[in-house]
Chains A and B, each alone.
Chain A
């Protein structure tokens, strides 16, 4: 997009700035509309499983329900409790919302259609998702009220616990793909499963990892059955109890943007992202734009999230901790060892590692300093 703005006669920096802002709007605005409709879908799926009708009054089939809710919330009064710590109280929903949007910068929607195609994309997502706990903790503390505070404590412990196993699961994927770049991870899944399926989940070593990632992403987004932070029967509404109006809506939007992010991560890391499902040319799969596949798969995972919400009862807190630390952590650690062992076995001597080649090449420029590195040691062969 930068090239297009440059062709209008702008300097590179101006063109880059405008192109980036345009890119941000191109991602953020459709995301907000997607969140509105995903809330509608959530309620409809939940209702259908409960044999109810769900929202069906506002607009045809109730399609405008989310916008009506948004308008209602927008027109309410913002109430700040007198005992609250005002600055942090108002900052918390902003942090939640901003962080939920920021992670989308590295998500590839289609081949190369990504705002920031950085080398450490997956690490960036880990970093950003580890920030999202602050919104909850700040809200819980600043409200100066019992139930929000309990909720914040629970949220902090829960998110730290599950981030550990999510980290190990992501390492397994990175080991297979050999890169942190999300676009490259998607491309490395081309024909991965039995030579025809474009997905890591059909690899027998990675399938258990996907199951654990799916469950961990439920816990990380505080969805049912892990919604202990807003357990109605115990904590009123959790950390959102004291919030009203737009500050409440920002939590709501951020929460669903995070859920969509986790769905798209399931798609990107284990189900081939924007690649068509099969790597055969019987039907012109590859002529369909990648974003269609990406959205279809993401939506499928969102459907699974709603499905779980309607069918599974809530975990107790000690059960949640037990699952995270005593089951997911050892299993994911074991699989890191298993997968790296398997890769050492199968990819042995596959190719020269990039870095050691670079060391050798850098030798002449840097004088004698690097010669020992290049001459004394054999170039390593085993890097997956």
Chain B
């Protein structure tokens, strides 16, 4: 009973917020609706018992990816009127893409109905270990059966990261503002200050 209510609550909210993502006028609102959609998807994951995936979904997508989206979108100065002016010009292209997507959907569903797809059957090893906790089960599969795929994914991410750094890193043109923290920490009062006792009206020479 509670599960059913929770399922329909999450499912309706996912779809509704996904619709709002593409209909909202303001891009910041779009990102916020997207976050709500992620969050409710995580709720659905919890309902099917995949709590580890649900938490990772929130941590990675809501906690990191969407914050960066929001970060970028907030700083954009989007003029809604000029966007809408391009609507008529881009309409034929959009219509073509929509038709292609529709055809793909129809074909996909038709093929699925026609019978089992041989390529789609799960591998033997992918059968989930029963009785273990979520985290342990994922770990046992990921670090044994799928170790090479896992490490390959890690390498790809590493390459992406290095690429992003190489593309965006500019060496500073000037050295202004460069601060050597360990040198500052090593400084002692003895070498940084001088105690003088000047006579009245004479001043001091440094």
Contact = CB atoms under 8 A, between A and B. Distances in A.
Interface of A: 13, 16-17, 85, 88, 118-120, 123-124, 126-127, 130-131, 133-134, 137-138, 141, 149, 152-153, 156, 160, 163, 180, 318-319, 322, 353-356, 358-359, 361-362, 365-366, 369-370, 372-373, 377, 380
Given A180-B135, A359-B129, A130 B71 contact: no
A88 B32 contact: yes
Contacts of B131: 358, 361-362
Chain B interface residue bracket vs A: 35 or more
Contact of A123 (B32, B59, B129): B59
A137 B67 contact: yes
Given A119-B133, A124-B55, A156-B67, A380 B144 contact: yes
B70 A156 contact: yes
A134 B2 contact: no
Interface of B: 1-2, 26, 28-29, 32, 35, 42, 51-52, 55-56, 58-59, 62-64, 67-68, 70-71, 74, 124-125, 127, 129-137, 139-140, 144, 177, 179, 181
Contacts of A377: 144
A370 B130 CA distance: 11
A153 B71 contact: yes
Contact of A120 (B26, B52, B67, B137): B52
Given A13-B1, A119-B51, 6 more contacts: A149-B74, A319-B179, A354-B133, A359-B140, A362-B131, A372-B124
A218 B56 CA distance: 24
A127 B58 contact: yes
B59 A355 contact: no
Contacts of B70: 134, 137, 156
Interface class of chain A by DSSP: helix
B2 A17 contact: yes
B196 to A, nearest CB: 27
Contacts of A354: 132-133, 136
Contact of B132 (A163, A358, A370): A358
Nearest to A128: B58
A166 to B, nearest CB: 11
26 contacts: A13-B2, A88-B28, A119-B133, A120-B52, A120-B55, A123-B56, A126-B59, A126-B63, A130-B67, A133-B67, A137-B74, A138-B32, A141-B74, A153-B71, A160-B64, A160-B67, A160-B68, A163-B63, A318-B177, A322-B181, A354-B133, A362-B130, A369-B127, A372-B125, A373-B124, A373-B125
Nearest to B53: A120
Given A354-B132, A361-B131, A370-B127, A130 B59 contact: yes
A131 B133 CA distance: 25
B129 A358 contact: yes
B59 A134 contact: no
Nearest to A355: B140
Closest 6 CB pairs of A and B: A130-B63, A355-B140, A127-B58, A123-B55, A358-B132, A355-B132
A358 B67 contact: no
A331 to B, nearest CB: 15
